[in-house]
């Protein structure tokens, strides 16, 4: 009992200490932003963090000192809840959250918001808690751009192989629905076969390779994320030409596209959900903390990167790197937050 009380006292003391220090930090325009990432095991997340750090450095150079406190939940929503509560206890000024669940984190978000710490959810999806600021990609825009480019190149017709993502995933279904909606304008593009690539380069490649001999001519491949590289390798390993497909932002994708272009004049573009949203999120956080009126729902842009841009800006990038777009603070204010 006694030890229990002592611990409570200690916790209160700690809380007081952190509150004092964060109050001190605010006084000289220093923002501590907690970044809760889901896992660091992939290129996209690496790009997300790099973009966040880039934006923080840019802002710091302009006199708004931004510090990031990054925590990694290793894929576990339960861990993420604890990390969110810890960030709240530490008294960070803002929390950027890639939520591992749309419901499980609601309580922890409430804790943060009632402690006066705004929470912004982004990248992995939204949460059902309306107190969280939401910065998301518009999958309809993704579908329009993706299908639009392919339809323009093929004159709105052709046989397509559709590689879906992870079965049962909400984002997967949303992206697929967006493709189908965009495809309804082009009835002459026919999906001749559909496989699930599990958002896994290796699985996508094997599934495509196993049915490839039975397929008629495939003019187009539709895919999500990392599957484009796997699909191309399946066609190459079978000695067939790589059909028209849109590539992602991973170094493997970019290098393959550049390589195909050098060898045979193959043309395409890269369209992806942009890891640069990490930078956007930091900009939004600083805007909010600086007193700008930030809407509760915002849309992150979906960039389309042409072959020419890839050649000039990203030639010789490492396979393990990822392309992300640099969004400045002023650009974010004008185009994402919509401040006057």
By CB under 8 A, residue 222 contacts another protein: no
Q: What phi and psi values does residue 68 have, to the nearest 5 degrees? A: -105, 135
d(CA 99, CA 104): 9
Residue 250: strand pairing partners: 322
By CB under 8 A, residue 182 contacts another protein: no
Distances (CA, A) of 98 to 111, 133, 302: 17, 12, 18
Closer by beta carbon to another protein, 86 or else 206:
206
Closer by beta carbon to another protein, 229 or else 329:
229
By CB under 8 A, residue 264 contacts another protein: no
By CB under 8 A, residue 14 contacts another protein: no
| C-beta neighbour count of 174 within 10 angstroms | 16
DSSP 83-131: HHHHHHHHT-SEEEE--S-SSTTHHHHHHHHHTT--EEEESS---S-TT
What tokens appear for 279 in the block?
């930078």
d(CA 269, CA 248): 8
58, 93, 198, 219: which one binds another protein (CB under 8 A)? 198
Q: Interacting stretch for another protein, rule CB under 8 A, among 25-33, 84-92, 203-211, 283-291? A: 203-211
Q: Interacting stretch for another protein, rule CB under 8 A, among 51-59, 83-91, 129-137, 212-220? A: 212-220
Closer by beta carbon to another protein, 109 or else 323:
323
Strands 270-271, 304-305: parallel, antiparallel or unpaired by DSSP? antiparallel
Q: Interacting stretch for another protein, rule CB under 8 A, among 63-71, 84-92, 202-210, 281-289? A: 202-210
Q: How many residues bind another protein (CB under 8 A)?
A: 40
Which residues are CB-neighbours of 92 under 8 A, at least 6 positions away?
A: 22, 32, 33, 34, 69, 117
Closer by beta carbon to another protein, 213 or else 291:
213
By CB under 8 A, residue 245 contacts another protein: no
Q: Interacting stretch for another protein, rule CB under 8 A, among 28-36, 151-159, 199-207, 293-301? A: 199-207
CB of 28 to another protein, least distance (A): 33
By CB under 8 A, residue 17 contacts another protein: no
d(CA 312, CA 263): 18
What is the Cβ-side half-sphere exposure of residue 73, based on CA atoms within 13 angstroms?
A: 24
Residue 107: strand pairing partners: none
Q: Interacting stretch for another protein, rule CB under 8 A, among 27-35, 121-129, 194-202, 288-296? A: 194-202
Closest by alpha carbon to 31, among 39, 22, 20, 42? Answer: 22
By CB under 8 A, residue 230 contacts another protein: yes
Which residues of the shown chain bind another protein in the complex (CB under 8 A)?
Answer: 40-42, 46, 164, 167-168, 193-196, 198-203, 205-207, 209-214, 226, 229-230, 233, 236-239, 252, 255, 318-321
């Amino acid at each position: 009992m006694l030890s229990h009380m002592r611990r409570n006292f200690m916790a209160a003391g700690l809380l007081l200490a952190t509150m004092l220090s964060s109050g001190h930090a605010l006084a000289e325009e220093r923002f501590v932003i907690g970044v809760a990432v889901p896992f660091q095991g992939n290129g996209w997340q690496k790009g997300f963090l790099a973009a966040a750090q880039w934006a923080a450095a840019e802002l710091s150079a302009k006199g708004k000192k931004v510090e990031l406190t990054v925590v990694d939940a290793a894929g576990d929503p339960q861990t993420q809840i604890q990390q969110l509560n810890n960030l709240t206890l530490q008294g960070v000024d803002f929390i950027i959250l890639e939520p591992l669940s749309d419901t499980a984190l609601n309580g922890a978000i409430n804790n943060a918001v009632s402690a006066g710490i705004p929470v912004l959810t982004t990248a992995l999806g939204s949460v059902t808690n309306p107190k969280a600021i939401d910065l998301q990609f518009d999958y309809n825009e993704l579908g329009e751009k993706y299908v639009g480019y392919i339809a323009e190149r093929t004159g709105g017709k052709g046989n397509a192989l559709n590689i879906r993502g992870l079965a049962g995933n909400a984002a997967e279904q949303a992206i697929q629905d967006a493709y189908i909606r965009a495809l309804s304008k082009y009835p002459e593009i026919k999906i001749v076969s559909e496989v699930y690539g599990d958002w896994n380069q290796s699985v996508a490649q094997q599934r495509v390779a196993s049915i490839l001999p039975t397929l008629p001519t495939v003019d187009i491949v539709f895919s999500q994320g990392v599957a484009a590289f796997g699909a191309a390798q399946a066609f190459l390993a079978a000695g067939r030409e790589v059909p028209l497909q849109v590539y992602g932002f991973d170094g493997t994708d970019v290098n393959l596209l550049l390589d195909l272009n050098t060898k045979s004049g193959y043309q395409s573009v890269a369209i992806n959900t942009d890891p640069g949203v990490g930078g956007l999120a930091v900009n939004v956080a600083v805007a909010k903390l600086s007193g700008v009126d930030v809407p509760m729902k915002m849309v992150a842009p979906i960039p389309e990167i042409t072959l020419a841009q890839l050649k000039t800006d990203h030639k010789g990038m490492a396979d393990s790197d990822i392309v992300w777009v640099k969004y400045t603070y002023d650009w974010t204010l004008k185009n994402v937050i919509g401040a006057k």
